[in-house]
Structure 1
Amino acid sequence: MRIEPAVLENRWVRLEPFAPELKEDVRAAISVDEAAWSIMVSTAYGDDFDPWWDGFVERLAAGKDTPYAVRRLTDGRIVGTSSLHDLFPMHRRVELGSTFFHPDVRGGVINPASKRLLLQHAFDSGTVRVEIITDGINARSQAAIAKLGAVREGVLRRHKITHTGRVRDTVMFSITDQDWRDVRARLDARLAAF
């Protein structure tokens, strides 16, 4: 498994690996909605954006993360972020996460279109398992992950400490290479409705 940062595009979105010229557009897209950030492990809200960005850029350079700015193609606006991170080449496993979208694009085509590209890229790169995790109190995120067709595997109790100091339970989902054909068909049918 070797996941390279690459521009990924379909008819709805273009995913662009983080680059200096994207920083302010990403800030405008995600340094919003303080309440949504309040339950995240880390935050890119307000003064925390620069260290958040710098951390992703460092991990990208080290080959540990592939963070993407998500550009909506209808108007060219950066509307969020997502990434393939915590790469484990030896086990051909990766996590899909660090996803945050501007409130005005939630619930539409942007998230499933982005996930379709990232999952295709992961499996084309030799991944056998994509993990998607979320906070145990984030019901909206859990529903969105389940809607993708990911398998809920369980809860990792007291798994992470959030930036606010709260000890969180993490809900673990996965999509394997054996699941991918059915998940892809499900995503494609969903996207065809847009």
Structure 2
Amino acid sequence: MAELSTILEQGPVRLEPLAEHHLEPLRAACAEDQEIWEIYPVSMLDENFDQAIEAFHDTSNWVRFAVIDTETGQVVGMTNYINPDPNTKVTEIGGTYIAPSVRGSGFNAVMKKLMIDHAFAHGFTRIEFRVDTRNKRSMAAVLKLGAQHEGTLRKNRITWTGYVRDTAVFGLLKEEWAR
């Protein structure tokens, strides 16, 4: 997993391995959208932020990034490689949040391209995305990347609000990635 944890940058997007100095700016970025957290598995608002960060320390199988807007120098979100497995050559990209200020600008597409290119360059052959079916914007973004909807896991996860969600699973194979 160490080879995945590096600085990635293109245009307005810079991904840096998440470090202590990113946490307070990330807290502020997460607070910019109070409503979106209702459809996330965990909340990153208020006191929930500290709990979520503490829980992150218990998951060693994630490669975490702070997302930085190079035009402003501000932390505008986070994203992760989840459970990268060098044996099966599969990783998931998820746990992504970006602030409203960069949504709809192509920022997310650049960020995902950086991550996909990097994973494929390091021998991964399949990338998965798992999205709450209520999150229509994220599902549309994943489809735009060329990922295929492979099915929906029904009522497979309980979110921080107690909601039992359905999770859409998307897959992108290296040979399908033509960017």
- 1:23 — aligned with what? 23
- 1:39 — aligned with what? 39
- 1:165 — aligned with what? 162
- 2:82 — aligned with what? 85
- 2:171 — aligned with what? 174
The CA deviation at 1:109 is 2.3
The residue type equivalent to 1:94 in the other structure is T
Is the 1:96–1:132 contact (alpha carbons within 8 Å) kept by the matching residues of 2?
A: yes
CA RMSD of aligned residues (A): 1.5
Gaps of at least 5 residues in structure 1 are 185-194
Is the 1:12–1:73 contact (alpha carbons within 8 Å) kept by the matching residues of 2?
A: yes
The alignment's TM-score, normalised by the length of structure 1, stands at: 0.87
The CA deviation at 1:39 is 1.1
Is the 2:4–2:119 contact (alpha carbons within 8 Å) kept by the matching residues of 1?
A: no
Percent same amino acid among aligned pairs? 37
Is the 1:18–1:67 contact (alpha carbons within 8 Å) kept by the matching residues of 2?
A: yes
The CA deviation at 1:4 is 3.0
Distance 2:116 2:30 in 1: 22
The CA deviation at 1:131 is 0.3
| Residues 29-63 of structure 1: per-residue CA shift (max 9 Å, x gap) | 1133221000111111111111212232443xx3x
Is the 1:32–1:45 contact (alpha carbons within 8 Å) kept by the matching residues of 2?
A: no
Distance 1:103 1:67 in 2: 20
1:109 aligns with 2:106: yes
1:119 aligns with 2:110: no
SS of residue paired to 2:114: helix
